[in-house]
Amino acid sequence: MQSKHIIIIAVIIAVVIVGLTIGFGLRGQAPGGSVGVVEITNVIHSSKNIVKDIKNFGDSPSIKAIILRINSPGGVVAASQEIYDIVKRQKDKKPIITSMESVAASGAYYIALPSDVIVANPGTVTGSIGVIMEWPVIEKLLQKLGIEFEVIKSKEHKDIGSTYRRLSEKERRLMQEMVTDVYDQFVQATAEHRGIPLDSVLKLADGRVVTGRQAKALGLIDTLGSFEAAVEIAGDLIDIEKPHLVYPPKRLSLIDILVTPMEHITLPKLYFLWR
């Protein structure tokens, strides 16, 4: 009897995992003259699905424009840059409009930069041009528990960023150089896409956040408005009064939910992130 219960539970878990991984199906069809909406929410840890959705809409002949609906504080640098790159590539095919919801800061703002038009609400939190790298150091806790690490490494910096010890001054300089290099990339991209002098961007690029209204005055966005305003702008750009909106399938992996949070907490990563 107990073995039967175990089998039943295993089958239920398998069905749930498969169902969650497959997704929830397409939302809307794509008649001619449609606008594809890609929603970018929460902290950006992976670019895979977002890049795929933007590319699919970019390649679809029935999708005439793309709206990026962003509600995110940013995320991992490389993932943000991959999304930025696909936006930059696809805008040559069709108009891309960014609609900022509550938050579109740091890496989420970086993603929006290549858009043809950036729309934000007056109270949207955006900006936060900067880079951060952080991880926990549990050296003192390990000492209290009597736990020590034996490390055999090829060269002195192979374990740089380990959680069981603090950085040396030399290591801190190396990490700071990485952060500064990525920061320069962010600043240059902002100056390029927004047409703002580099010196002016540098004055803003201290990690500060601004409201949508402030961002408009500073030239960081194009116009103030809601998602509906962004849809109207998309319609104007493709000469369709009321474009049909199409969304990609929603995806949710149970494995990602259970496994990845601890990885994000413990492993050093470069972030475009507003805290």
What residue spans define the domains of the chain? Answer: 19-273
Residue 249's pLDDT band, with cuts at 50, 70 and 90, is confident
Closest alpha carbon to 193 in 114, 89, 117, 85: 114
Q: Is the pTM of this model over 0.95?
A: no
Q: What single-letter DSSP state applies at residue 239?
A: T
Q: Are 246 and 33 in contact (CB under 8 A)?
A: no
Average pLDDT of 206-233?
Answer: 98
Question: Is pLDDT at 269 greater than 70 in this prediction?
Answer: no
Taking 50 as the threshold, does the pLDDT of residue 23 lie above it? no
Contacts for 273 with CB less than 8 Å, ≥ 6 apart: 43, 73, 74, 75, 105, 106, 107, 128, 132
pLDDT score at 18: 43
Strands (E), the chain: 34-41, 63-72, 74-76, 96-105, 117-120, 125-127, 132-133, 209-211, 223-224, 244-246, 270-273
Using only C-alpha atoms, the chain has a radius of gyration, in whole angstroms, of 22
Provide DSSP, 29-63.
---TTEEEEEEEES-B---HHHHHHHHHHHH-TTE
Q: String of b and e for 100-137 (b: at least 16 CB within 10 Å)? A: bbebbbbbbbbbbbbbbbbbbbeebbbbbbbbbbeeee
Q: What does the pLDDT read at residue 255?
A: 46
Q: Which residue has the tokens 């991209």?
A: 189
CATH class assigned to 19-273 = alpha beta
Q: Sorting pLDDT into bands at 50, 70 and 90, what band is 15? A: very low
Q: Which of 9-23, 134-148, 239-253, 260-274 has the lowest mean pLDDT?
A: 9-23
Residue 125: which pLDDT band, with cuts at 50, 70 and 90?
very high
CB 251 within 8 A of CB 23: yes
106 is catalytic: yes
Enumerate residues 6+ apart whose C-beta is below 8 A from 112: 68, 70, 87, 98, 100, 104, 118
What does the pLDDT look like over 55-76, one tens digit per residue? 999 999 999 999 999 999 999 9
Catalytic-role residue among 106, 115, 128, 216: 106
